[in-house]
Amino acid sequence: MLRRRRKRGATPRAAREPGSERRWAAGLGGKLLRLVGTLAALAAIGWGGLRTAEWMLSEGAFPLRQVRVEGDLRNLDADDAKRVVEPYLGRNFFMLNMAALHAAFAENPWVEQVAVSRRWPDTLLVSFTERVPYAHWGDGEMLDQKGQRFRPGTIRERHDWPRLHGPNGHEALLMRIYADTRRALAPLGLKVVRVYEDARAAWTVVLDNGIELSLGREQFDTRLQRFIEIYPKVLAAQAERVAAVDLRYVNGFAVRWRPAPADAPPPRPAPADPVAATQRTGDPSATGLRIAG
């Protein structure tokens, strides 16, 4: 049996149903309308966001109303900090120039560190770390406990800080000498009030009873120990008459006495050997200088 062969060729396209073209056009139009609506909504949101941002950054929005100061303040004054912020009160909370504020607070010589931050909704927080003074330095300056020099404007907390004098760059050395000398003399009931280092690197220590110790440039510890040994034995009983003790001798010391009061009895006549008389009698009025070997 012979089979009938099909003709090869393109498959005939099915005829479109009536109205299909209209439905396709309507669907496309709906998509375009939705796209246009979405774009319009986005534009409205963007415009509204822009207007909101402009309002938030305007001068009158979110005004700064309060300043809070934190820290253990002894020589700093919270009112001084608030006066720095006064020009910024009422300004926009978000537009504060934090770097300028930080720099203004840091100008105070008593400020060691400062942190400035915002606190919602209208507060500026200023946290201070105040310098801890250690001693007076030279003419009008001070040293903090880290050995940093600064020139205080106002000292509100009065304290009997020692006075240190010396070349620039020797701050840490003078602090150490003062601390060591203070500890060494404390058992004698003596307090160090001044320490000097002159241009020749010679040391002078002044005590709270007015006695001045000349210790020279060398053998500081040895000479100070010599004073510690002789003070209770020789000088303590008449300390009010002692003006200075020179310890720069190899094995001795010299004493300069204060002038006797006007109503004091006249001193005894000094013999030919005033040094020997002083050693024998122990009378400071016998001579202005005492040598002990």
- Spans of all domains in the chain: 66-130, 145-292
Torsion of CA 174, 177, 179, 180, to 10 degrees: 170
What's the rounded Cα separation, in Å, for the pair 30 and 86? 60
Whether the predicted pLDDT of 12 surpasses 90: no
Amino acid, single-letter form, for residue 152: P
SS (H, E, C) 146-188: CCCEECCCCCCCCCCCCEEECCCCCHHHHHHHHHHHHHHHHHH
- pLDDT for 26-41, tens place per residue? 565 566 666 655 665 5
The residue with tokens 């005033």 is 274
Both tokens of 273, joined, read 């050997």
Q: How far is CA 243 from the centre of its chain?
A: 38
Residue 137: which H helix or E strand, with range? strand 133-137
Query: Per-residue pLDDT averaged across 218-233, rounded?
Result: 97
Band (268; pLDDT cuts 50, 70, 90): very low
Whether the predicted pLDDT of 284 surpasses 90: no
Which of 65-74, 95-104, 177-186 is modeled with the greatest confidence? 177-186
Which of 42-51, 257-266, 267-276 is modeled with the greatest confidence? 257-266
Which letter does DSSP use for residue 200 in this model?
A: T
Residue 278: which H helix or E strand, with range? helix 274-281
CATH for 145-292, among 3.40.50.11690, 2.40.170.20, 3.40.605.10, 3.40.50.720? 3.40.50.11690
Round to the nearest angstrom and report the end-to-end CA distance of the chain.
154
Whether the predicted pLDDT of 184 surpasses 60: yes
Question: How would you classify residue 3: left for phi > 0, otherwise alpha for psi between -120 and 50, otherwise beta?
Answer: beta
pLDDT computed for residue 277 by the predictor: 31
CB 206 within 8 A of CB 193: yes
CATH class of 66-130: alpha beta
pLDDT computed for residue 17 by the predictor: 57
Whether the predicted pLDDT of 16 surpasses 80: no
Whether the predicted pLDDT of 150 surpasses 90: yes
The residue with tokens 């300390």 is 239
CB 84 within 8 A of CB 104: yes
The residue with tokens 């209208």 is 122
pTM of the model: 0.71
Beta strands 242-246 and 212-216: pairing type? parallel
Band (291; pLDDT cuts 50, 70, 90): very low
Cβ-based burial of 164 (10 A; exposed 0-12, middle 13-18, buried ≥19): buried
Residue 215: which H helix or E strand, with range? strand 212-216
Bond preceding residue 284 cis, omega within 30 of 0: no
Query: Per-residue pLDDT averaged across 226-248, rounded?
Result: 97
